[in-house]
Amino acid sequence: MGNKEEEEKGFVVRDRRFAAQKEEAEEAAPKKGEQREESKGEDASQKETPLPEINFTNFLLSISTSALFQLGEIPDPTTKQSVKELPLAKQTIDLIGMLKEKTKGNLTPEEEKLMEYILYDLRMRYVKATS
C-alpha cells in the first residue's frame, strides 16, 4: 500500500520566474529619497542621442569619415589638431575598394553611386596629401 501512495503523489512544479522578475525589479527601482547612480549629476544636455540606423550607406559613410580623419582632413576632436596617417588612410581606401569589388551586383544603384563617389573623392584627396 505504501508503494501505491508514493506512485500517486508524484511531484509539484512551481513556476517562480515571475516572482523572481518582480523581486529583481523591486531591487533595481530606487527607494523614496534615493537617486539612481546613473542619474546623479546628469542634466538634460548629457543624455545620449539615438544612434543612426545601421545600413550599408551609413557603414560606407563611417568608413569614409575614418579615411578623412586619417588623411588629416578632419581634426582630432580631443586635441583639435589634424594628424596625417597616410599608410592607414591608404589601407582604409583600399578596404572600400575591396568592398566595391566584393559587393558588385548586390548594391542598389544609389549605393553603387555613393561608393564610386566616395572612392573617387578619397583617392583624389590621398594623391593631394602625398604630393
Name the grid cell of 30: 530606487
73/66 Cα distance (integer angstroms) = 10
Entry pTM: 0.60
List pLDDT tens digits, range 83-94: 899 999 999 999
The structural domains of the chain, with segments of one domain joined by +, span 60-130
List pLDDT tens digits, range 44-81: 556 788 888 889 999 999 999 999 999 999 988 888 88
38/27 Cα distance (integer angstroms) = 15
Residue among 88, 118, 122, 89 nearest 103 (CA): 118
